[in-house]
Structure formats: structure tokens, C-alpha cells
Amino acid sequence: MLTQVAEGVLVHQSELLRNNTVVVQGEAGVLVVDAGITGDEMACLANDLRELGRPVVAGFSTHPDWDHVLWHAELGDAPRYGTARCASDMRGLRSDAGWKTRVIEGLPPEITDDVPLDLFGLVTGLPTGTARLPWDGPDVRIVEHPAHSPGHAALLVEASGVLVAGDMLSDVFVPMLDNFDDTNDPVEEYLTGLRLLEDAAHDADVLVPGHGSAVRGADQVRARIELDRAYLLALRDGRTPDDPRIGASAEPGWEWVSDIHEGQARSVARRNERTGPRSGQRRV
């Protein structure tokens, strides 16, 4: 079911992980951002759009995680865009003869048989530094950043004031960090991403995260940014975050997010032991 969150912007949410598919209405048709995760849900979305008389004229994947690069034949063959890094990662994955097996092994077991993979990851990379989505519709600003995943980008639908955040600013997931090694600092990369989203949020009245609930109002958008920032600073400094998404205050059915947090806390602690903590070294 499509729900309007702002003028010309609608959201279709998955049942299992609360993935948000964003639909932006344009002159000739619609832009579909992060199409969904199961075949039935994407077919439902396609049917809803047909009933509205709105063909899909463009797609966009916010980043190369499996649940953001899926597509369904009923959505049509419109160009599907992503950042250059996102598209490169997908080409690399699909070049492996056993890529489908690898993807299936990473899926939640309850939906393994319901996720269509034939069109998985067929993303056209936009040139590095592209600032606007090339489509026949309202201006959509691309905000690429290093948080959560290489090739991650948020979108700002400027006329509607909607920030489509990808896998950030969720009310059900804590910030999920990229790989930990000695070549990158995922906490600092995430803080950098938050600063870039914060800059974009000056022009936003509505936030749609990749998972969870959308919020309206500049104060609510800022609150989500501050919640993620507080979590990251606590993690970086070796403190237990006071965060409603983990521990006893976690939403029923989402207690497993605490396991994600505990694993990240251990990884940050190990990295700090190797490289030294970075607390206070950079503006946040």
C-alpha cells in the first residue's frame, strides 16, 4: 500500500524489515527508490502504480546492500541508477559465477524463496560527483557519503522537502557500520555522512529512512540525526549508548538489534586497541 508523505512523494513499506520504497511523481511517470525485498511486495507496488496510471521511468538504489538493489519485472525496464561505487560493487558481485548462491546465503531464511534475483544489482553508475538525478521529474539532489556502505547516497526531493536517507536515521536500527580494518575508520566515516545529511536536512521537512518510520517536521529530522550521532560518539568513546533502539527499551520484535550493537561495540574496542581512540580529534 502506498502512503503519501509529502506532495508528490509516496512510500511503500515492506513487512519483514520495514524497508521503505520511495516513489516520486514526475511529469512522465515515477522514480522508484529502493524497490523492495520480496516478489509479492514489488508486484503489489507495480500494481498500485498501474492503478494510478503512473509508469516507472527511473529507479535508484541508495547503496549496494542486497535489500536495496532488487527489482521486479513488473516494474518495467526503466534505467536504474546508483553511485559509481554502488554499480561497481554490483558488477563485481555478478561477475562471480556463484553470485546467486552468495546472495541467497545472506538472505533472511524466511524470505529466501520469495526474493527474485534475475534483475538483482543491475544498476547504472552515475559519474562520480553527479549532483542531480537525470530524470524527467522534480529536482532530486544526490548526497553521496561514506557512511554505512561504500557507494551510499541519500536523495533530497527539493520541491517536496523530502530527505530519502537510505540506511541511516532509522528508529528501529542503530547506525550500522562498514567493515573494520586498519584502512578505514567506520565511526568517523559515519559521522562524516551524518554531517552531510545534516547539511541537506536544512532543506527537508520530511525524512524517510531506509527502514522504519518516516517523520515530519524539521525538529524531528534533527532529532534522528542527533540520536545517531549520540550513539556513534558513545561507541567511539567506549561508553554504553543511552539509545531507545537497544536494550530493554528496544521495540518488541526488534530486540536482535542489540546483538548488532554488541558486535559493533566489540569491533570498535578492538580497533581502538590497535590504532588508539580518536575521541576529540575531529569535529562532530
Give pLDDT tens digits for 18-53. Answer: 999 999 999 999 999 999 999 999 999 999 999 999
The answer to whether 23 and 52 have CB atoms below 8 angstroms apart is no
In a domain, 101, yes or no: yes
Residues 6+ apart with CB under 8 A from 265: 235
Domain extent for 232 = 2-275
Place of cell 518495467: 76
pLDDT value at position 180?
66
Place of cell 525538529: 219
pLDDT value at position 183?
72
Q: pLDDT tens digits for 171-212?
A: 999 999 987 666 789 999 999 999 999 999 999 999 999 999
Query: With pLDDT > 90 as the criterion, what percentage of the chain qualifies?
Result: 91
In a domain, 250, yes or no: yes
- Report residue 18 as a C-alpha cell: 520495514
pLDDT value at position 238?
93
Residues 6+ apart with CB under 8 A from 156: 140, 141, 143, 162, 163, 164, 200, 203, 204
| 21-25, 144-148, 222-226, 267-271: least confident range | 267-271
Q: How many domains does the chain have?
A: 1
In a domain, 157, yes or no: yes
pLDDT value at position 283?
36
178 vs 185: CA distance, rounded Å: 9
DSSP state of 62: S
4 vs 283: CA distance, rounded Å: 37
Q: What CATH number does the domain containing 254 carry?
A: 3.60.15.10
pTM of the model: 0.94
In a domain, 282, yes or no: no
Q: pLDDT tens digits for 78-91?
A: 999 999 999 999 99
In a domain, 283, yes or no: no
Q: Whole-number mean pLDDT of the chain?
A: 94
